[in-house]
Amino acid sequence: MAAPHRLFIANRGEIALRAIETARALGVETVLGVSAADRDSLAARAATRAVVLGPAAASASYLDQRLVLHAARASGCTALYPGYGFLSERAEFAALCEAEGMIFVGPSSAQIAAVGDKLAARSLAETAGVPLTSGSPEIADVPGALIAAERIGYPVITKASAGGGGRGMVVARSADELARGFGPAAAEAAAAFGDGRLYLERYVTRARHIEVQAFGLGNGDVLHLHERDCSVQRRYQKMVEEAPAAILPDAVRAGLHRAAIALLGSIAYANAGTVEFLYDEERATFAFLEVNARIQVEHPVSEAVTGIDLVRWQLGQAMGTPQETRQRDIHCRGHAIEVRILAEDPARRFAPSPGRITRWRPPVGPGIRLDSAVAEGSMVPPYYDSMIAKLIVHAETRAGAVARLLQALGDFEVEGIATNIGFLQTLVGHRDFRENRVHTRWLEQTLLLPEAAAA
């Protein structure tokens, strides 16, 4: 038998705790690298050992690649769990681990690089026969834009070649709007990225964000764990995630799964990954968005409906246990919904509200799961992402899950810091949400309308 593995956890918060607990269940020791701000965290106490990497600033602790790898090596670890965020999708970090003989629990550095670049991923998708949003090559000026838009069909949206995040994005419903919006969009892109090049894409008025959870075996075989609907977003940030995507016609759903498998299979993808799509509800068509080469925040809803422990699969594969589950053994049962509990104050435009949690009474009961790394008395530090917990419910039907979620949110007691729990209650109780009539802009156009008007 090979020497036992020891796992370095290169993350914090709930995903760190989740990985520690899963490793413990597998009999694997863990070493958690923390910043000085997290030395008393629940995850630090749960790990076999915790080492303080550096000061609170993530750039001098969690994001310092050499520091993290040195800590992993010097503490006798054989494998490293990156989680999501931080170093999880840095191809050069995965390559550094490979060069140093440290098992990176995830895809290879080459696979991360292959899907990490927006244009490279698009051409991969194209080669694999995955539908893409109809778009144009780079456009030089207004006349060029008008010609391209005629071909694509209105409405169109301008996008910056050099980056995302809403910069350089203008929606045009007519040639007139496009002629007026093109110049300002190019100027905005130039200001944001130092590069004003634009291209056009067809704009989907009522789009759903639907993604397929995949798990690659590394030999070209890729399993899918069905799909998720993550359309409820604020500023491109997911707030509610569900599995399955109840809105999909079965034929489209099957096509979506096939597309994800074809794309990841073409690079013999290994470990957990997600292929994101934009679903046009009016036309019942989908188009490729991007690949996330890591475990995602919302993976528990897929676990709830399939009964599969994805983190266990990740660790098992990385540590050499062959995955013997077949696609035909993976079934989707019932409906699951996750909401992200944030230390943010909706009344103050979702300003972060770090501080000491003086009361923490999460809901309990059948079909309720809480992934968290805080407890009563915990300090929520101001330096990192504001997500403090994920509440996941599972029921036979979507309506049952919504009812269970409303009940659970009502039972959730948190004091000492502001949270979005009250806001989530309003959201989940909204008629549009209950009837599943949402899209990616729904939150901004309904509950957040006052905020949008003020912006």
Partner 1 sequence: MAISMADIEAIVAQFEKSDWRTIELVADGVELRLSKDGSAGVVCAAAPRATPTPAQGATHGAAEGAEQGAAPATDASSPPSGLVVTAPSLGTFYRAPRPGEPSFAEVGQVVAKGQELCLIEVMKLFTTVHAPSAGVVIAIHVIDGQLVEFGQPLVSIEPES
Instruction: Summarize as ranges the residues that interact with partner 1 (CB under 8 A).
Output: 33-41, 44-45, 49-56, 60-61, 64, 66-67, 69-71, 74-75, 379, 381-383
**Rounded to an integer, what distance in angstroms lies between the CA atom of residue 398 and that of residue 334?**
8
Q: How far is the CB of 21 from partner 1 (least distance, A)?
A: 17
* 294 among known catalytic residues: yes
Q: How far is the CB of 16 from partner 1 (least distance, A)?
A: 12
Contacts of 299 (CB under 8 A, 6+ apart): 213, 272, 310, 311
Q: How far is the CB of 91 from partner 1 (least distance, A)?
A: 18
Shorter beta-carbon distance to partner 1: residue 51 or 403: 51
Catalytic annotation, pick one of 294, 340, 398, 404: 294
Shorter beta-carbon distance to partner 1: residue 12 or 209: 12
Shorter beta-carbon distance to partner 1: residue 25 or 74: 74
Rg (CA), the chain: 22
Shorter beta-carbon distance to partner 1: residue 34 or 198: 34
CB 112 within 8 A of CB 89: yes
Contacts of 32 (CB under 8 A, 6+ apart): 8, 9, 16, 20, 43, 44, 47, 49, 50, 51
Q: How far is the CB of 54 from partner 1 (least distance, A)?
A: 5
- Residue type present at position 417: I
CB 170 within 8 A of CB 158: yes
Query: What's the residue count for the chain?
Result: 455
Closest CA to 197 of 246, 240, 118, 138: 138
**Rounded to an integer, what distance in angstroms lies between the CA atom of residue 390 and that of residue 298?**
8
Q: How far is the CB of 67 from partner 1 (least distance, A)?
A: 5
Closest CA to 11 of 47, 25, 100: 47
Shorter beta-carbon distance to partner 1: residue 15 or 259: 15
Which tokens go with 40?
């008393």
- Residue type present at position 411: D
Supply the residues annotated as catalytic. 294
